[in-house]
Amino acid sequence: METTVKRIILGVTGGVAAYKAAELARLLVKRGIDAQVVMTAAAGHFVGAATFQAITSQPVYSDLWDARTANGMAHIDLSRAADLILIVPATADFLAKLAQGRADDLLSTLCLARDCPLLVAPAMNRQMWDNPATRRNIDQLADDGIVLLGPTSGPQACGETGQGRMLEPEAIVEAIDAFVQPKTMKGLKVLVTAGPTYEAIDAVRGITNRSSGKMGYAVARAAIEAGAQVTLISGPTSLTPPAVAETVAVTSAQQMLAAVEARTDEADIFIAVAAVADYYVLNPSENKIKKDAHILTLELAPNPDILANVTRLDKAPFCVGFAAESENLEEYAELKRKRKHLPLIVANDANAAIGSDEVDLILLDDAGRHVLDKADKLTQARRLIEHIAKLYNARFQ
């Protein structure tokens, strides 16, 4: 089940970060989301209503007594039509209003009168964020089921640096995506491997492969979105890890094996996405091997099979493997699944999948084959996580 948001009330309050709300509105509209902006009076000191109206092609509301809605009750009419309300930025003052249940303007009133989720992206000076009063308000909002997006730490408009900086618009959009995904793995611990491994030949050369790590990182993110506590063990990539519980950076297959074995006891599900090098170099040189006219001979030995080692454990987690093949895709993938005693394996064409942003996947399990038509890797990861959750729940719950 893929969930989308069609209509958002974008509440803008009076903070310097209000200018970022305009970029956020642009991103939402670009995704086909109907963004209805509601501003506080203070927000107008930082960014104009005309800006938002031009971006969203929607009238901007700020007056509690605005009569433009169907029955003249904007705080009811606007909130009833929304899938969620998002406050960007959420100042310390507005957070206090929400915590206390105050309703003295249109935005605070429609937040109180809502019947949809409320998400807030705080933005304030670091000392305001750390103030005991703000901390109490944040705790109250969490107890009330209001979802906080951030803040993060970084440079602030006042010239100081610290916690209280609002998330960037792209990160907020990702957080919305995550929020609306079904929580099919809530409470589960998921271990994911991603990326290639690198086996040293000498101080500067090595054996690796073309895996970008994109699929593994997408799987980790999709598992987080589904409510899991995720540990990501990654070989060398240029990607920024998702906000997992733990990220472990490794280089070689032996290091990846050690990292996996140290964490499998706590894992409910193990998803082996990494493209592990099949061989490593015996006796690699500590120094750079100088080029000469002679043929260089390398002695290679097989790397450990990380997934097979995990499936052989007495109390193995629910294991999912990946099979990237350049020929006989389903035949080779199914042989791998049976050889490693896997409840599920994901088959993909190595020639088409490695390094690409979109991929076709075929899921093979005891019930047969399930084709996931071509889509971006995050979409495929979400579909995969949904399928894994169904198999896991059928087996253990």
Catalytic residues: 158
Collapse the DSSP code of 123 into the 3-class scheme (helix H, G, I; strand E, B; otherwise coil) and give the result.
coil
**Residues whose CB falls within 8 Å of the CB of residue 158, separated by 6 or more in sequence, listed in order:** 125
Please give the DSSP secondary-structure letter assigned to residue 323: E
Distance separating alpha carbons of residues 223 and 217, to the nearest angstrom: 10
H-type helices in 252-345, by residue range?
253-261, 306-311, 329-339
- 178-210 burial, b if ≥16 CB within 10 A, otherwise e? bbebbebbeebbbbbbbbbbbbbbeeeebbbbe
Please give the DSSP secondary-structure letter assigned to residue 1: -
Residue type (1 letter), 177:
D
Closest listed residue to residue 123, CA positions, set 198, 22, 12: 12
Other beta carbons less than 10 A from residue 366's beta carbon: 9
Beta strands in 133-277 (DSSP E): 147-148, 152-155, 161-165, 189-194, 199-200, 206-207, 229-234, 246-249, 269-272
